Structure 1
Amino acid sequence: MTTTTIQKKIWMLVTMMLLIMGIIWLTLTHYNQKTQEQSNTILQRYLRMNEVTTASQQIITHLNNYLVNPTDQHQQKIEKSIVILEEVQQDVAELRNAENTFSVTNYIHLIDSLIETTNRSILFSEEREVEGATNQFNEANRISLYISEMTLTILDRELKSSNRFYRDIIQQSEELKKLGIWLLLLMTAVLLLATYWFSLSITRPIHRLTKAANELSKGRFTQQIEVKSNDEIAFLAKTFDKMRININDLIVEIQQKALLEHELQQSKLLLKESQFKSLQSQINPHFLFNTLNTLSKKAYLDGAEETSDLIVSVAGLLRYNLKRIDRSVTLFEEVVVLNQYMDIQKARFRDRLQFKMDIDESCLQVKIPGLTLQPIIENAVIHAIEPEENGGTIWFTIKRDVAGVIIEIEDSGQGMTQEKTEQLLLGNVVPTEGHSTGIGFQNVVKRLYLFYGQENIVTIDSREGRGTRVVIQIPTVREENDDETSYSG
C-alpha cells in the first residue's frame, strides 16, 4: 500500500481548491470575453458610422474653403479627408450582416457618390467653371446631409436591435452575481468538508494513540494498537505497538526471573535445611562409630579376636559411609570397603555365601564415584543370596579392556525379567528397604552417568532362573584422569 504523507494530503487539498478556483475563473473569463467582444463589435459599428458623418462634413468644409480660395493647402486637406473617408468606408463594409445588408450597401454608395461629387467639383473649379463647381458642391452638401441622416437612421435601428442584447447583458450580470454568490457558498462548503475530512484523518489516529497511551500508563500492555491510516501517524502507531510488545515481553521476562529467583531462594532454604538435618543425622552414626571402636578394643582384650575383627569391619564400613558421596575415590578404596562389607555378610551367612574375586591390580588407581560397588553387591546379597535356602555365589571381576576398565558383578540368583531390568536402569523401581547404606541401585546408576558424562555406563544381563550380571564400563578418557574430582550426584 502506498504511503500518503500529511504533507501530500495538504498539497492535495490546496491543489483541489486551486483547481476549482481555476475552473471558475476560466468560465467567468470566457463569458466576460465573449460579452466584451459582442459589445466591442456594436461599439465599433457606432464609432465607424460616426466617423463617416464627421469625415463627410469635413470634406464639405474643406471643399467650400477650396472653392473660395483654391490653394494647394485646401486641396491637400480635401484629399486627406477623402482618404479617411475611404478607410472608414472599408470598415463600414465589414459591418454588413444579414439584417443591415441593404442599408449598409446604400450607405456605402452614398459615400462613393460624395467622393465622386467632391472630385467633380474640384475638377470644375480647376477649369474655371464656377457654376458647375457650385452645383457639384451643392450636390455634395446634399449627399453629406443624406449620409448624416442615414447614419442616424442606421444607428437608431442598431440601437433598437441591440436593446435586447444589452438587456440580456444586464440580466446575465445579475445572474452572474448570483452565480458568484452560490459558487462562493459552494467553495466554502467544499473547503469546510475537505478541512473536516483532513482534520479527522489526523486527529482520529492521534486520539487512538492517546487512548492507547492511557492504557499503557495503567499497566495494560496486552491491548493491540491499531490505527487505520496511510501516513506518518500509522508508522508512529506501529512503532508504538512494537514498543508496547517489547515492554510487555520485558515485564514477562522480569516476572519469570523474579519467579526463578524466588524458587532459587526457596531451594537454597531447603538445601540449608537438608544440610542441617543431615548434620543432625550424622551425630548418632559418629557416636555409634566411636562405640564400635570401644567394643572392638574390649573384645580383643577379652580374647574374642573374631568378634573384634568383625566389629572393626563394621566400624570401617561405617567410617567409609560417613564420607561425602559427591567425591571420587579409587577402585582400591572401593575394593577395601567391599571386603569389609563381605566379611560382615560372611559372618552372617557363613557357608551359604561364596564370594570370588578376580582383580587386575593395574586398574585399582582408576577413579570412580564413592559408594558405587557396595550398593550393587548389597543388592545381589539381598535378592540373590538371602532368598535362597542354600545361599549362592557372587563373582566380582575387575579387568582392563581396549575401551577402558570393565567391572563385572555376577550372582547365581533367580534373575529378573527384561521389563524389570529396564525399569531398574531407568530408575522406575521403588527402592527396597533394608539397605545398610541407604543408597539404591538407581542412585548408583545416576551418579555414574553424571560422573562420566555419558550414558550406557551400566548394563544388566539377566534372565529368570539364570542369575544376574551387572557390567560397569569405565571409559579410557576418564581412566586417564587421576586428579581428585568432585561432582553433583
Structure 2
Amino acid sequence: MNKIHKKIWTLTTVILLIMAAIWITLTYYNQKTQNQYNEILQRYLRMNEVTRTSQQMIADLNNYFITPIPENLDKLNKSRRKIENAKREVSYLRNSENDFALTNYMNLIDSLVETTDRSLLYFNEKETEDSAKEFSKATRISMYISEMTLTLIDSELNTYERLYRGIIDQSEEIKKLGIWLMLMITCLLMFLTYGFSLSITKPVQKLTQAANELSRGRFHLPIKVDSNDEIAFLAQTFDRMRININNLISEIQHKAQLEHELQESKLLLKESQLLNLQSQINPHFLFNTLNTLSKKAYLEGSHETSDLLVSVAGLLRYNLKRLDRPVTLREEVMVLQQYMDIQKARFTDRLHLKMSIDETCLNVDIPGLTLQPIIENAVNYAVEPREDGGIIWFRIQDGNDCVIIEVEDDGPGIEEFKIKQILQGQFIQKDGNSTGIGFTNVVRRLRLFYGNEDVMNIESSAAGTKVVITIPKDRRGAA
C-alpha cells in the first residue's frame, strides 16, 4: 500500500471513528432515557395488572356461581394465581415514598383472595346467604383495589415528576449536544480535508513549476518537494533526470571541445602513443627485476626482505598464468603460503594463520587462483578492520571420494543476503582491496570446472565465517 493510499485510509478511519463515537454516545443516552421510561411504565402496568386481575377474579367467581362447572372453576383458580403473581410483582415497587400505601394495597389483595375463598367455600356448602355476603364483600374490596391503584399511580406521578422533567431537559441537552457535535465535526473534517488536499496539491504544484522551468532549459535549478509520499519519490526521480540531462549536455559540450582539440593535434597524439608504448613495463621484466632485487637483498644480509621479494615474485609469476588452465592443489597451497607471507609482513602480529593440511590430498586438480581470493577476502574483512587483528584457519581434509577445503575466520560475519548473492553469482566487489579475481568469480569457475553446483558452501554468524569447498578426487566422475 503506497503512502497516498495510507493518507486516504487514515482520513477515512478518522471520520469513521468520529461518527462511531457520536453514534455510541447518542445511543447510550437514548438507551438510558428509554430504560428510565420503561422502568416507570412497568410500575404503572404492574399496578394496573392488579386492578384488572381483581376484576377478572370477581367476574370468574360470579360465572362459577351462575354455572358451577369445572371449566369455570379452573378459570377462577387461574385468576387467583394471576392476582398472587401480580401481588409479588407489586411488592418490588416498594420505596420510602409509598411504603405505607403499598402495604395497605397488598393487604387489600390478601383480603380479596380470602373473601373469595370464603364465598366459594360457603357456596360449595350450600350456604347461599353467607356466600352472597362474602361475594358482595369481595366486590367492594375489588372496587377499593381499583381506587387504591389510582391513588398509588397518582402518587407515583408526583414522585417521579422531577424525573420526568429531568428526562425532558436531558433530551433537550442531547439535542443541543448533537448540534454542537455536528458543527465541531464539520469544522474538524473541513480542516482535515484541507490539510490532506494541501499535502497532495502543493507538491504537485511544485513539480509542475519545476517541469515548466525544465521546459525553458533551466537545468541548474534543483527540484525539491517536502513530502513523504510517492510525489516526493517522483520529484527525486525527476531531479535525477534533470541532473543526468545537465551532465549529458556538459559532457557533449566537453566532448565537442576535445574533438576540436584532437583534430588540431593529431600528429602529436600519435607521437604520444608511440612514447607510451615504449615506456610500458613488461611484466616478465618486472618479475626478473624482483628476482634480482631479492638476490641483492640476500647478499646484503636482508634475509626477510629477500624472502618477501621472492614471495612477491612467485605470486606475480603465478598470476601471469592463464586462469583456464588447471593446477594441482599443492601449487595453490604454495602460492597461498607466499601470499600469506606477504600479508604477515604487512600485519605482523595482528594476523594469525593456523594450517592443517593432509598431504595425501594435494595432487587433485583445481582451477588456478581459487584459494587466494577466499583467503584474501578473510584478510580484508576479518583481520584488517580490527585493531587486534584476527585468526584464519586453513584446513585440507580427506573426505574419501572428495577433498574438503575449509577457510574459517573469527571476523564479524557476512550478511545472509550477501551469501546468497555470492552463491548465486550476483555479488559485485565494490572496494579496491582485491587482486581482481573476486569471490563470485571463484564460485563460477569451480562450478564450471567440476560441473557441480554444490561445490561451495558458506556458513556465517557473528562469531565468524567458514567457507567449505568440496572437490572430487576424480574430476571425470564429477563431470
TM-score normalised by length of structure 1 = 0.54
Q: Is the 8 A contact 2:55 2:142 kept in 1?
A: yes
From 17, 20, 25, the counterpart of 2:18: 20
Q: Structure 2 matches for 1:403-414, cutoff 5 A?
A: none
Q: Structure 2 matches for 1:438-449, cutoff 5 A?
A: none
Cα distance in 2 for residues equivalent to 1:54 and 1:66? 18
Post-superposition Cα deviations, 1:180-238, rounded to whole Å, max 9, x if no partner, equal 12111111111111110100110111111111111211212222211111111111111
**Structure 1 residues 247 and 447: alpha-carbon distance in aligned structure 2, compared to 1, 3 A threshold:** closer
From 177, 189, 192, the counterpart of 2:190: 192
Q: SS in structure 1 opposite 2:208?
A: helix
Cα distance in 2 for residues equivalent to 1:124 and 1:87? 25
Q: Structure 2 matches for 1:128-277, cutoff 5 A?
A: 128-267=126-265
From 61, 74, 80, the counterpart of 2:78: 80
CA shift for structure 1 position 35: 0.8
Aligned partner of 1:51 in structure 2 is 49
Q: Is the 8 A contact 1:117 1:139 kept in 2?
A: yes
Cα distance in 2 for residues equivalent to 1:75 and 1:238? 97
Cα distance in 1 for residues equivalent to 2:105 and 2:18? 50
**Structure 1 residues 129 and 249: alpha-carbon distance in aligned structure 2, compared to 1, 3 A threshold:** same
Q: Is the 8 A contact 2:219 2:246 kept in 1?
A: yes
CA shift for structure 1 position 161: 2.0
Q: Is the 8 A contact 2:98 2:155 kept in 1?
A: no
Kindly indicate whether residue 279 of structure 2 is the aligned counterpart of residue 453 of structure 1: yes
Q: Alignment RMSD, CA only?
A: 2.4
CA shift for structure 1 position 113: 1.4
Cα distance in 2 for residues equivalent to 1:19 and 1:450? 78
Cα distance in 2 for residues equivalent to 1:53 and 1:160? 20
Aligned partner of 1:480 in structure 2 is none
Q: SS in structure 2 opposite 1:61?
A: helix
Task: Give the fraction of aligned pairs with identical amino acids, expressed as a percent.
Answer: 59
Cα distance in 1 for residues equivalent to 2:64 and 2:142? 17
Cα distance in 1 for residues equivalent to 2:273 and 2:237? 52
Cα distance in 1 for residues equivalent to 2:22 and 2:280? 91
Aligned partner of 1:387 in structure 2 is none
Write the letter of the residue equivalent to 2:7: K
Write the letter of the residue equivalent to 2:202: R
Write the letter of the residue equivalent to 1:145: M
Aligned partner of 2:318 in structure 1 is none
Q: SS in structure 2 opposite 1:86?
A: helix
Unaligned runs of 5+ in 2: 282-479
Post-superposition Cα deviations, 1:435-467, rounded to whole Å, max 9, x if no partner, equal xxxxxxxxxxx9996684369xxxxxxxxxxxx
**Structure 1 residues 70 and 255: alpha-carbon distance in aligned structure 2, compared to 1, 3 A threshold:** same
Q: Is the 8 A contact 1:52 1:88 kept in 2?
A: yes
**Structure 1 residues 215 and 131: alpha-carbon distance in aligned structure 2, compared to 1, 3 A threshold:** same
**Structure 1 residues 68 and 218: alpha-carbon distance in aligned structure 2, compared to 1, 3 A threshold:** same
Q: SS in structure 1 opposite 2:160?
A: helix
Post-superposition Cα deviations, 1:92-135, rounded to whole Å, max 9, x if no partner, equal 11222332222222222211111111011100111111222122
Aligned partner of 1:65 in structure 2 is 63
Q: Is the 8 A contact 1:49 1:92 kept in 2?
A: yes
Cα distance in 2 for residues equivalent to 1:146 and 1:450? 135
Aligned partner of 1:93 in structure 2 is 91
Equivalences, count: 279
Cα distance in 1 for residues equivalent to 2:96 and 2:259? 110
Q: Is the 8 A contact 2:97 2:159 kept in 1?
A: no
**Structure 1 residues 108 and 451: alpha-carbon distance in aligned structure 2, compared to 1, 3 A threshold:** closer
Post-superposition Cα deviations, 1:359-402, rounded to whole Å, max 9, x if no partner, equal xxxxxxxxxxxxxxxxxxxxxxxxxxxxxxxxxxxxxxxxxxxx
**Structure 1 residues 169 and 126: alpha-carbon distance in aligned structure 2, compared to 1, 3 A threshold:** same
Cα distance in 2 for residues equivalent to 1:159 and 1:450? 119
Cα distance in 2 for residues equivalent to 1:232 and 1:223? 21
Q: Which runs of 4+ in 1 moved over 4 A?
A: 265-268, 446-451
Write the letter of the residue equivalent to 1:125: F
Write the letter of the residue equivalent to 2:115: T
**Structure 1 residues 84 and 9: alpha-carbon distance in aligned structure 2, compared to 1, 3 A threshold:** same
Q: Is the 8 A contact 1:4 1:230 kept in 2?
A: no
**Structure 1 residues 122 and 261: alpha-carbon distance in aligned structure 2, compared to 1, 3 A threshold:** same
Post-superposition Cα deviations, 1:6-65, rounded to whole Å, max 9, x if no partner, equal 000011001111111111111111111111111011111111111111111111122223
Kindly indicate whether residue 38 of structure 2 is the aligned counterpart of residue 40 of structure 1: yes
Aligned partner of 1:300 in structure 2 is none
Q: SS in structure 1 opposite 2:94?
A: coil
Q: Structure 2 matches for 1:256-335, cutoff 5 A?
A: 256-267=254-265
Cα distance in 1 for residues equivalent to 2:121 and 2:276? 150
**Structure 1 residues 163 and 259: alpha-carbon distance in aligned structure 2, compared to 1, 3 A threshold:** same
Cα distance in 2 for residues equivalent to 1:148 and 1:137? 17
Cα distance in 2 for residues equivalent to 1:12 and 1:97? 53
Q: Structure 2 matches for 1:383-394, cutoff 5 A?
A: none
Write the letter of the residue equivalent to 1:52: V
Q: Is the 8 A contact 2:219 2:243 kept in 1?
A: yes
Cα distance in 1 for residues equivalent to 2:117 and 2:22? 58
Cα distance in 1 for residues equivalent to 2:136 and 2:8? 80
